[in-house]
Structure 1
Amino acid sequence: MADTLLIVAGVLLVLAVYGDALATTLTVGGAGPLTRTVLARLWRLLLGLHRPDSSSKLLTGAGAGLLFTTVLLWVAGIWAGWTLVFAGSDTVVDAQTSLPAGFADVAYYAGFTVFTLGVGDFTASDPAGRFVTALASFGGLFLITLAITYLLSVIGAVVERRAIAVRINALGRSSGEIVAKGWNGSSFSSAFVQQLVALTGQLSTTAEQHLAYPVLHYFRSGQPNTAAPVAVGRLDDAMLLLRAGVAPDARPDDSAVDPVRDVIARYLETASATSTAAPAGTPPAPDLAALRAAGIPAVTDEEFARAAEDEEPRRRLLHQLVKSNGWSW
């Protein structure tokens, strides 16, 4: 006798899992509610066990583990859902004896149906059951294909994210050094300006990837020189120096600096959506000493301090993002 409650529960579970998977993989608006909640809680737990600035493998390997967990959640969810549907419908029977299958046998049948084409030792006893079996098989194939495509896309995004960090790090290991290396003795070199323009496009891609692949935030680099949040924070401080620390008559054109700042703002918006760290305080403002040592005309310390104060909300968000990735400013 059919158990309507089991069937309804199974259908709801299957729909919830497929909805979460589709929201995570096919929409550019963040993860589905199940994926978002589980991953955020697991990452928060790992972050609490991690020492800031440590290069241990606890967080370094967490990204791959959480990505695998995402797929595992979907697999377990649809398996459990179809098991409830088949168990409630009483349609699964032993292929040899035609006796109704027990719950464990139904779970076995559901697993083989969803992820393969079955092995033939159990079968559906009526046309409706055979139709549901075909539907479950198609849905399982669709989910696995979707998951594999998502995995490959995320790995590609991780590589691009680390590449942008390496490129920023090559400009300088501090915000002051980035600005100082761009100075040629009388002005900022055209090559430096071109590098800033090129960074704008790369940063915009990384920003949108954070929105398309929320799990990207949980891929933490083992070294600070390949950590994107650290590099972006350093770059933003460099843009603050160029915009407000360098004397007005020596600054590069706003068309080179402002787009970088706008793209970093977009990066903050998308990457902070998955940040799990508590709100952070304002980090120390960059120092004008590196500019003066390089012979770059600079404003007074008081004038720069006022400009840095105006940027506190933005810099607090950057600080929070760095902390949520297991690093210090």
Structure 2
Amino acid sequence: MSEALPRIAGGALVLLAAYDLYRTVLVPRGRGGPVTRGVCRGVWGVASRGGDRVRAQAGPLTVVGGVAAWGALLAVGFALVTWPALGAEVTASGDAATPTGFLTALYYSGFNLTTLGTGDLVPRTDAYRLLMIAEAGVGFTYLTLALTYVMSVYDALKRRNVFALGLHQRTGDSGDAAAYLAGALPGPPAAASQDLTTLSEGLARLYEAHHFYPVLHYFRLPEPRYAMARVLFVTLDAASLIRSAPDGPDAETLAESAAAEGLWRAGLRPVRELAPLFLPDRTSDEATDQSERDLWRAHYDRSAATLRAAGVACRADDAGFARYAERRAEWDAVVRRFATFMAYDWNAIAAPASGG
């Protein structure tokens, strides 16, 4: 029984590593495996207490930590399976005495897992010869998947940052959705619809990237323009303003277009489906109080003034604001939670025209 326990524990660790690799690298939905989730939360829990430079290391450290955790689980797991066999089923080559400590088993497991094959410890039974081959195969698979995972995460990160920067530039580097709309709406509705569709497609790719690689959420750059909260604020604020502020036949055509609906739905999808995966559990968001609604009103009035200055006819303020507030209530609280969790100042995320 004493020999069976290490083998059972070792087998469980190997299965845990395999399951976590499968859930994190091969399954394009959800939070990843339990080990990876623990590494992400642990690293972010420490990094979030530091300044911007420390927080910026959270993403790379979660990737490194996840890969290292998989390797450690596999190495220790196979070592535990081998440990009871040292001196009998696995022995030193030649006539040398076989060390029987756990570190020897870990050494044997490590060179099998990395396919080094130094040969100073040799399996003497068919079962352990097959286990050596199996471990080498698992090690090769692990190294291949880990390398693919790291490359894919950084490719997705680059595409995410390019989209966020492009959105920021559309606002004139201000982070103000009204500034973007002031440049897009005065032209023909077809041109604005095309750009809204482009933004919707970018949001869809962003959403899917975070499903494929949940670790992306923990890549927290110091510049607010790259934050998920900023991307969601600008796109959802733009979609809300399109449906509330502009007036006239062209405005109605654009507001009811598939492009405007696509931007609205593409922005809401991360709010509704990614937030439960990444943000701390919360049964409900606070109701909007009057002071917050007053800030929304100030934001709406400034946005409408920006549009009017660009030659865009706007509805009467009360009618337009009522439409705007109804839509903003669907996303504001969750976007704020994204900002708070990633330690961004809301005024930096929603500057300059959001209020509060």
What is the TM-score normalised by the length of structure 1?
Answer: 0.90
**1:1-329 → structure 2 map (5 Å cutoff):** 3-30=3-30, 31-47=32-48, 49-50=49-50, 56-90=52-86, 91-97=89-95, 99-103=97-101, 104-172=103-171, 173=174, 174-184=176-186, 188=188, 190-247=190-247, 249=249, 250-251=251-252, 252=254, 253-276=256-279, 284-285=295-296, 286-289=299-302, 290-311=306-327, 312-329=329-346
- Native 8 Å contact 2:245 2:321 kept in 1: no
Shift of 1:320: 1.4
Give structure 1 stretches of 5+ with no counterpart.
none
Q: Kindly state the Cα deviation for residue 168 of structure 1 after the two structures are TM-superposed.
A: 1.0
The 2-side partners of 1:111 and 1:316 are apart by 49
Q: 2: CA distance between counterparts of 1:112 and 1:2?
A: 26
Is the 2:243–2:324 Cα contact (8 Å) retained in structure 1?
no
Cα distance change, pair 117–107 in 1 and its aligned pair in 2 (3 A) = same
* 8 Å CA contact retained: 2:271, 2:335: yes
Q: Aligned-pair RMSD on alpha carbons?
A: 2.3
Partners of 2:90 and 2:123 within 8 A in 1: yes
Corresponding letter in the other structure for 1:288: D
Partners of 2:232 and 2:128 in 1: CA distance? 55
- Secondary structure (helix, strand or coil) at the match of 1:102 reads coil
Runs of 4+ in 1 over 4 A off after TM superposition: 277-284
Task: Measure, in 2, the Cα distance between the counterparts of 1:292 and 1:326.
Answer: 35
What percent of counterpart residues are identical? 25
Q: 1:35 to 1:201 in 2, by over 3 A?
A: same
- Aligned partners of 1:83 and 1:107 also within 8 Å: yes
User: Are the equivalent residues in 1 in contact too, given 2:220–2:342 (CA < 8 A)?
Assistant: yes
Aligned length: 322
Q: Which amino acid aligns with 1:296?
A: V
CA distance in 2, matches of 1:149, 1:297: 51
Q: Which has the higher contact order (CA 8 A, sep 6+)?
A: 1
What one-letter code is carried by the residue in structure 1 that aligns with 2:53?
K
Residue 349 of structure 2 corresponds to: none
- Shifted more, 36-45 versus 61-70: the winner is 36-45
- 8 Å contact from structure 1 (residues 40, 274) kept in 2: no
For residue 226 of structure 2, what is the amino acid of its counterpart? T
Distance apart, 1:230 and its partner CA: 0.7
Measured after TM superposition, the shift of residue 292 of structure 1 is 2.8
Instruction: Supply the AA of the counterpart residue of 2:257.
Output: D
Give CA-to-partner distance per residue, 1:238-263, whole Å, 9 cap, x none: 11000112225334242221101111
SS class of match (1:93) = strand
Tell me how far 1:299 sits from its aligned partner.
2.4
Q: SS at the partner of 2:216?
A: helix
Unaligned runs of 5+ in 2: 347-356
Shift of 1:278: 7.7
Please, what TM-score do these two structures have when normalized by structure 2? 0.83
CA contact (8 A) 2:35 2:66 kept: no
